[in-house]
Structure 1
């Protein structure tokens, strides 16, 4: 049975980052980066699988989340500062490089890490959010909106309207109060599976500014039965306790750095953003917000990533939780084909093929 342990370390900026660790200490390193609103343990199906295959797997509670550091300085959650924290993590682990895996905001952080620090990447796997989009600011995402679904006069910010909502301080305060008034029901409502029924329809996130808040401007999250979500009682309790202890301000502060992120992204330090490291993009076909299947948002990624693979999975936004076996198989297959030297073969026991 795989044993997952928790560790803390002090970053270069004298802040405490906490992470989960499993697998052989000398195995090839995989680092899993979660998004909003999640914590390290949401990667458990991936951590246990790849640790059992001989990888060393690490998943931090990202800055602002779980038991990692939290501040009230929004700049601590800019791409540049978060990437710097991940560089500290890699140094702490005494490794030169890793396979980096991200989802949601975590995907954007990993893309930014890759763009500025490719020498520390064996390969990169990201889910739902393509390269050269969110890490460059919300305006970059809006450029690729499907205007057949989101006419500009009616939905100026398309499905990314909720991110624009946070830019007003009063709205930010209102959103955070909404999340925190009933954390369990908010999490159950967010962590839900999706299907094709939402295709070709505006997402609920497209009218947050007009409605004055989430779910039509409601005062509190809707009552959501646990069985309709992707969470079990243990995962809900773990997530809920994390956000009850730490709140939602710091996690939501990632959305407050679009201008700073854009400025840093435009200052490409390596090859003007062109990527030669092997990359894998896992597309969630039923993600109604990050609708990569129904827009042109993947085009920059396909243009800039020169050793690129894509896999599409019939799942919603939480693809790694909804379809963990398919996600794990896609990652394993990609490692074996795109970066076979990163697979933890026992060098003393050569592979034998059936004849």
Structure 2
């Protein structure tokens, strides 16, 4: 396993990879979410490379050792998919399987939607494919739904503010500890975040001050996150959220398009994101007709590839074997 920098079109990406010395090894890209890094996939990089795959987990645009454009418009879904297309080419490959978690899941789904010639199979963790709706930009819809339900305000709407990153950067260790705690399966249900906050209460203030690092995360691993976000900040990561309405504007050409490549979905039973991302089990097959499996992992929370590494590894390896057969 090694870390290196790869220059693609207009972007320098830092990647964690293994299996690169294996001749003709199939490529698997692992795309992280918020607030994570390529290192979030260490267990999968190790297991999948041991099974004969060339596995690459980049720090995504705005994160870690990868370039961090300042303009929020540079974080559209088209940019993010383009980064992965460029990365596959820079790695000397002509196809790959793409796996995404959290924000990385929408990127992975759209990789398969936009470039099925290049991305031959897709797995989404925690966040199902969410097709473009015709009723207008999503932030207004999210705000209206929260207001009607008396839920306060969704953190995604709070992140739209140009200075939203400042509160997160004031104490990166506290920010990360609270976020990991609030979305973890081991955290008592009453202390998990729903993603919604009362008016006037910040995201961090809505999370228990007694928050601890999850039991699956070592102190050394946590320190890697703290060091990376202390150096790189949270502005780039929040730009992914600030671009959601732009994404809606840019993707009219994808209206009603379906993902035709073999697909897998994995979600934790106790993942708080299900409060606002929706239960994929109900309709994902309609939008991904070649969905191989949709798995709900009992008792797991949001950080599923780290919380339940062995289970996720097994599911991914089974899917890679199945997807390989279906792609032929």
**Normalising by the residue count of structure 2, what TM-score does the alignment of the two structures yield?**
0.87
Residues 230/182 of structure 1: CA separation in 2 closer, same or farther (3 Å cut) = farther
d(CA) in 2 for partners of 1:134, 1:197: 34
State the partner residue of 1:266.
252
State the partner residue of 1:278.
262
Answer whether contact 1:39 1:61 (CA < 8 A) is retained: yes
State the partner residue of 2:288.
305
State the partner residue of 2:195.
205
| Runs of 5+ consecutive residues of structure 1 not aligned to the other structure | 344-355
SS at match of 2:4: strand
Within the alignment, does 1:191 sit opposite 2:180 as a pair?
yes
Tell me how far 1:50 sits from its aligned partner: 0.6
Tell me how far 1:100 sits from its aligned partner: 0.3
Within the alignment, does 1:327 sit opposite 2:295 as a pair?
no
Tell me how far 1:277 sits from its aligned partner: 0.6
d(CA) in 1 for partners of 2:52, 2:324: 15
Residues 9/38 of structure 1: CA separation in 2 closer, same or farther (3 Å cut) = same
State the partner residue of 1:348.
none
Tell me how far 1:76 sits from its aligned partner: 1.6
Within the alignment, does 1:248 sit opposite 2:239 as a pair?
no
- The number of residue pairs the alignment matches comes to 320
d(CA) in 2 for partners of 1:53, 1:342: 19
Within the alignment, does 1:222 sit opposite 2:213 as a pair?
no
SS at match of 1:102: strand
d(CA) in 2 for partners of 1:202, 1:39: 22
Tell me how far 1:8 sits from its aligned partner: 1.5
Q: CA RMSD in A?
A: 3.0
SS at match of 1:211: coil
State the partner residue of 1:115.
113
Residue among 295, 307, 321 paired with 1:336: 321
Tell me how far 1:47 sits from its aligned partner: 0.3
Q: What is the CA deviation profile of residues 134-167 of structure 1, one whole-angstrom value per residue up to 9, with x for unaligned ones?
A: 9996459849x9x8xx67241276xxx1011122
d(CA) in 1 for partners of 2:139, 2:226: 31
Tell me how far 1:202 sits from its aligned partner: 9.2
Answer whether contact 1:188 1:229 (CA < 8 A) is retained: no
d(CA) in 1 for partners of 2:70, 2:269: 36
Q: What is the CA deviation profile of residues 13-35 of structure 1, one whole-angstrom value per residue up to 9, with x for unaligned ones?
A: 2x211111101252111000000
Residues 274/18 of structure 1: CA separation in 2 closer, same or farther (3 Å cut) = same
SS at match of 1:126: strand
State the partner residue of 1:152.
148
d(CA) in 1 for partners of 2:140, 2:176: 28
State the partner residue of 1:8.
5
State the partner residue of 1:350.
none
Tell me how far 1:182 sits from its aligned partner: 1.8
d(CA) in 2 for partners of 1:7, 1:251: 21
Tell me how far 1:311 sits from its aligned partner: 1.2
d(CA) in 1 for partners of 2:131, 2:281: 9
d(CA) in 2 for partners of 1:12, 1:213: 38
| Runs of 5+ consecutive residues of structure 2 not aligned to the other structure | none
Answer whether contact 2:96 2:121 (CA < 8 A) is retained: yes
Tell me how far 1:133 sits from its aligned partner: 5.0
d(CA) in 2 for partners of 1:317, 1:137: 26
d(CA) in 1 for partners of 2:326, 2:149: 51
Residue among 33, 36, 50 paired with 1:35: 33
SS at match of 1:267: helix
State the partner residue of 1:347.
none
SS at match of 2:254: coil
Q: What is the CA deviation profile of residues 264-283 of structure 1, one whole-angstrom value per residue up to 9, with x for unaligned ones?
A: 232129xx422221000002
Q: What is the CA deviation profile of residues 171-192 of structure 1, one whole-angstrom value per residue up to 9, with x for unaligned ones?
A: xx2x322222221122122223
Answer whether contact 2:263 2:290 (CA < 8 A) is retained: yes
Tell me how far 1:340 sits from its aligned partner: 3.4
